[in-house]
Amino acid sequence: MKTVRILILEDDLRTLSSLLKAIDKLEENLLGEGKDIGVTVLSEFTQVEEYLNSSKANIYDVILLDRDCKAGGSFHVIDFNKYTIDKIIGISSTPPYNEELLKRGVKRIIHKDYQVLDQFSEEVIFQIKDLLQLKS
């Protein structure tokens, strides 16, 4: 079984719920291809600084990157040299934060709209499948 590893840097529980529901559906489809999904969620920028940036391993196939977190900082502290920007999907609800990622070289941005979170999550799944060249 091949595991697709997804890192979600997000602190909003409604958004996480919607994303996890959509990722669950994706995993159901991938199981037939001998793949499953491992998800890591970090909800504070300090976790990015203390665990991700200091870790030697880079095991994630996809990184969903919001900006603000309830701890008062930014998830954009992630080490962009260590974690390939081609694996990052920006998911902020604030256009200037998404534009900031575009300037840093991130090519995949999905504007998070709290009024249509399920649509947002479906677009995230579409981008994950495209990024990883998945059939399901």
Q: Name the pTM for this structure.
A: 0.94
Query: Residue 23 and residue 33: Cα distance in Å, rounded?
Result: 15
Q: What is the pLDDT of residue 136?
A: 64
Percent of the chain with pLDDT over 70: 99
Query: Residue 129 and residue 26: Cα distance in Å, rounded?
Result: 9
* Segments forming the whole domain that contains residue 101: 2-132
> How high is the mean pLDDT of the chain?
93
pLDDT digits (tens, 9 = 90+) for 52-100: 998 888 899 999 999 988 888 889 989 888 888 999 999 999 999 999 9
* Number of domains present in the structure of the chain: 1
3-state secondary structure of 27: helix
User: Among 32-36, 69-73, 124-128, which stretch is predicted with the lowest mean pLDDT?
Assistant: 69-73
> What CATH number is attached to the domain comprising 80?
3.40.50.2300
Q: What angle do CA 95, 9, 22 make, to 5 degrees?
A: 90
pLDDT tier, 101 (very low <50, low <70, confident <90, very high otherwise): very high
User: Among 17-26, 48-57, 112-121, which stretch is predicted with the lowest mean pLDDT?
Assistant: 48-57
Q: What is the pLDDT of residue 66?
A: 93
Residue 64: closest CA among 7, 117, 131? 7
Token pair for 128: 């994950």
3-state secondary structure of 21: helix
The values of phi and psi at residue 123, to 5°, are -65, -40
pLDDT digits (tens, 9 = 90+) for 105-116: 999 999 999 999
As a whole number, mean pLDDT of residues 115-133 equals: 96
Those residues whose C-beta lies under 8 Å from the C-beta of residue 82, and which sit 6 or more positions away, are: 53, 58
Angle between helix 117-132 and 13-31 (nearest 10): 40
Sheet with strand 62-65: strands edge to edge: 35-42, 2-9, 62-65, 88-90, 108-109
